């Protein structure tokens, strides 16, 4: 595991729907990093339970999230894929970091406020979620954390906690760096281009799920909100809806945005959306063919192998941390 390549760590919650925003903002970036880095991709089940998950469904969701990773092009021969709860060092380090983090640090985080806004009560876990995320990242001496824009603030907290621990107890942690894509780090909702595409949106017309029926997904594109005027140009401030569709089109088929603007000059929104709908449909058909080709047993083996490979690295970091804190390690 220890090579001179940079270490990459990222994760997604197995909380149901994954959408085109997750794919374009996060997963494609993971795939691109696989060759030049030591990549570790986690299914963060303990993050998922910060809001209630149906016990009868969670196991299925965990396996399906791995299938999404695989269908996106994450190759278990190159990258480690594992389940967060399989390595108890994550929650142990999270506890220790809880004692380093300040309430004022967590009060600055915006995600729990957004996620909690519609709920009567918010779990302590949801509030503390960024500290567990910091533990995920810091356990593996991570250099690079590829994420969508909404997670950058959490990676900043991981940096703060690492620096504070190193300063107060002695050098243990590497200081990680978030990386986001130039295009696609924030794919917007199809029904409201002012908000990011999100699985927790009130309407399924907000997002294209990676498991949506291709024909239904095409219809969602046809129904997507557009801007006033009729020009197909990339101007996120003036034309947020069309700009978002242009980014999606460009990232799905590799044609750059300028070429798309030229191709659709003097053509209407209808024609543009019809073509994008076809792109999305073709993408989903191919994606789902791969997604459905993996068996549950295969996925379970990948998770077991991943955890076995990564355990010594996690244990080594945790041991260093305990030593610095002065905790006696009497067993093993």
Residue 114 Cβ vs ligand TRP, minimum distance, rounded to whole Å: 11
Q: Annotated catalytic, 196?
A: yes
**Binding letters toward ligand TRP, positions 110-149, x by CB under 6 A:** -----------------------x--xx-------x-x--
Q: Annotated catalytic, 290?
A: no
Tokens of 135: 């533990």
How far is Cα 272 from Cα 250, in angstroms, rounded to an integer?
12
**Binding letters toward ligand TRP, positions 45-84, x by CB under 6 A:** --x-------------------------------------
Residue 93 interacts with which of ligand AMP, ligand TRP, none, CB < 5 to 8 Å by class: none
Q: Annotated catalytic, 181?
A: no
- Within a 10 A sphere around the Cβ of 248, how many other Cβ atoms? 26
Phi, psi (rounded to 5 degrees) for 253: -120, 5
- At residue 43, the 3 state secondary structure works out as strand
Tokens of 330: 């009497």
50, 79, 151, 317: which one binds ligand AMP (CB under 6 A): 151
For strand 38-43 and strand 7-12, is the pairing parallel, antiparallel, or unpaired?
Answer: parallel
Which of 221, 266, 228 is CA-nearest to residue 246? Answer: 221
Cα–Cα distances (Å) from 315 to 29, 236, 269, 308, 328, in that order, read 28, 46, 55, 11, 15
E strand or H helix that includes residue 72: helix 55-72
71, 94, 158, 197: which one binds ligand AMP (CB under 6 A): 197
Is 150 an interacting residue with respect to ligand AMP (CB under 6 A)? Answer: yes
Is 114 an interacting residue with respect to ligand AMP (CB under 6 A)? Answer: no
Phi, psi (rounded to 5 degrees) for 39: -100, 140
Residues 15-34 within binding reach of ligand AMP (CB under 6 A): 21-22, 25-26
Is 186 an interacting residue with respect to ligand AMP (CB under 6 A)? Answer: yes
**Binding letters toward ligand TRP, positions 3-42, x by CB under 6 A:** ------xxxxx-----------------------------
Residue tagged active-site, from 181, 196, 220, 239: 196
End-to-end Cα, the chain, rounded Å = 22
Is 43 an interacting residue with respect to ligand TRP (CB under 6 A)? Answer: no
Residue 136 interacts with which of ligand AMP, ligand TRP, none, CB < 5 to 8 Å by class: ligand TRP
Which of 306, 323, 312, 326 is CA-nearest to residue 41? Answer: 306
Give the interface with ligand TRP as residue ranges (CB under 6 A).
9-13, 44, 47, 133, 136-137, 145, 147, 151, 154
Catalytic residue positions, numbered = 115, 196, 199
């Amino acid at each position: 595991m220890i090579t001179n390549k940079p270490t990459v760590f990222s994760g997604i919650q197995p909380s149901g729907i994954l959408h085109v925003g997750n794919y374009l903002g996060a997963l494609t970036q993971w795939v691109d990093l696989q060759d030049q880095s030591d990549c570790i991709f986690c299914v963060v089940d303990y993050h998922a339970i910060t809001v209630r998950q149906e016990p009868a469904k969670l196991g299925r969701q965990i396996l399906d999230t791995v299938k999404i990773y695989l269908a996106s092009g994450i190759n278990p021969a190159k990258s480690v894929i594992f389940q967060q709860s399989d390595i108890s060092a994550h929650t142990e380090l999270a506890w220790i970091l809880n004692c380093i983090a300040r309430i004022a640090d967590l009060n600055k985080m915006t995600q729990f406020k957004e996620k909690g806004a519609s709920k009567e009560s918010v779990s302590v876990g949801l509030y503390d979620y960024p500290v567990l995320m910091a533990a995920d990242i810091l356990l593996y001496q991570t250099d690079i954390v590829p994420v969508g824009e909404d997670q950058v603030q959490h990676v900043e907290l991981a940096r703060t906690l690492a620096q504070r621990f190193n300063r107060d107890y002695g050098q243990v942690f590497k200081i990680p760096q978030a990386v986001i894509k130039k295009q696609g780090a924030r794919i917007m909702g199809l029904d409201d281009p002012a908000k990011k595409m999100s699985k927790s949106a009130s309407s399924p017309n907000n997002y294209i799920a990676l498991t949506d029926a291709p024909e239904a997904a095409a219809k969602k594109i046809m129904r997507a909100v557009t801007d006033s005027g009729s020009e197909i140009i990339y101007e996120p401030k003036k034309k947020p809806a069309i700009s978002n569709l242009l980014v999606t089109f460009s990232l799905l088929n590799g044609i750059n945005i300028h070429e798309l603007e030229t191709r659709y000059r003097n053509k209407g929104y209808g024609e543009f959306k019809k073509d994008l709908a076809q792109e999305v449909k073709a993408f989903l058909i191919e994606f789902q063919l791969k997604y459905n080709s993996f068996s549950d047993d295969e996925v379970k083996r990948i998770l077991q192998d991943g955890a076995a490979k990564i355990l010594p690295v996690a244990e080594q970091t945790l041991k260093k941390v305990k030593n610095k804190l002065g905790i006696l390690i009497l067993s093993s």
